[in-house]
Amino acid sequence: MSKIAITGAAGRMGRTLIEIIQQTPGAELTGAVERPGISIIGADAGEVAGVGALGVKIVDNLESILADFDVLVDFTIADATAVNLEVCATANKAMVIGTTGLSEAQTARVRALAQKMPIVFAPNYSVGVNATFKLLEIAAQIFGDDVDIEISEAHHRHKVDAPSGTALKMGEIVAAELDRDLSEVAVYGREGITGERSRETIGFSTVRAGDIIGEHTVMFAGAGERLEITHRAHSRSNFAQGAVRSALWLEDRQAGLFDMQDVLGLKAIKA
């Protein structure tokens, strides 16, 4: 049985994670954390998630429950994840990181600490999105430099970072296949007299509206035709299922930095 703690327990992903852990054989929720000062501290995590009492109280301090879990699943905010990472590294705990919008320095710290602890760090835990990543490698190889590539994404109005971590990852995959450096070719939104588009550019556009859970489209547009590869999330349960699957997968791992492609065994499939 894998003992899992989650942080951000009252959040959109946190509540979904509690529900999915309940439904997953081999997984047990043994800890739940939220930020200090909010009213649900001390409440039962299962009650907060709407799945009935589980006997796991929500605490406001990760350090107070270190004896209770093997792996921490963290879907919170970048600054909280950065702190939790240090705590887990010191206490020798595995981590599944779902939080997006980490700074370059915070990401570098994830990479460094993964030398001593096992971490799954993925911008998107859905199986469909990770299949999309593979399809993008294939499409980029087929089209090469003969098309314009544009990435668009839409999310709910509460999302705090843009473009989404998933859209950026899609850009990185396509850029890597085409021997381009994303930091040099990315264009984030356009306005005014922008001039003609140059071929190597990879454009990003962002919609924030209502309760859209997450939609991504990568367009490969050439003369006379275009291919669009689209993924649409219908609920948060697919992200939570992937994150819990990652937590179980980490059970016997030594130190290292992994992503959902590792968890799903997709790296063995040749594009």
**Contacting positions for ligand NAD (CB under 6 A):** 7-8, 10-14, 33-35, 75-77, 80, 98-101, 122-125, 239
Min dist CB 126 to ligand NAD, Å, is 6
Active-site choice (155, 169, 216, 231): 155
Q: Which of 57, 116, 159, 231 is catalytic?
A: 159
Q: Which two tokens stand for residue 257?
A: 């930095």
Least distance to ligand NAD, CB of residue 101, Å: 6
Confirm if 96 and 190 have CB atoms less than 8 A apart. Answer: no
Nearer to ligand NAD, 122 or 185 (CB): 122
DSSP tag of 158: T
Closer by beta carbon to ligand NAD, 160 or else 223: 160
CA dist 133 to 160, 218, 233, 261, Å? 23, 10, 15, 9
Nearer to ligand NAD, 221 or 266 (CB): 266
Burial of residue 161, with CB atoms counted within 10 A of its CB: 0-12 exposed, 13-18 middle, 19 or more buried: middle
Q: Tell me how far, at minimum, the Cβ of 221 lies from ligand NAD, in Å.
A: 27
What is the torsion angle, in degrees rounded to the nearest 10, for the CA atoms of residue 44, residue 50, residue 52 and residue 53? 0
CB nearer to ligand NAD: pick between 11 and 256: 11
Cα R_g (the chain), whole angstroms = 20
Active site residue 155: yes
Rounded CA-CA distance 100/80 in Å is 11
Strand ordering across the sheet containing 202-208: 186-188, 202-208, 148-155, 215-222, 225-232
- Judged by beta carbon, residue 204 or residue 239, the one nearer ligand NAD is 239
Least Å distance between CB 66 and ligand NAD? 15
The terminus-to-terminus CA distance of the chain in angstroms comes to 35
Peptide bond into 163 cis (omega under 30): yes
In the complex, minimum distance from the CB of residue 269 to ligand NAD, in angstroms, rounded to a whole number: 21
Which residue's beta carbon is nearest to the bound ligand NAD? 11
Residues 6+ apart with CB under 8 A from 270: none
Which residues are tagged catalytic?
A: 155, 159
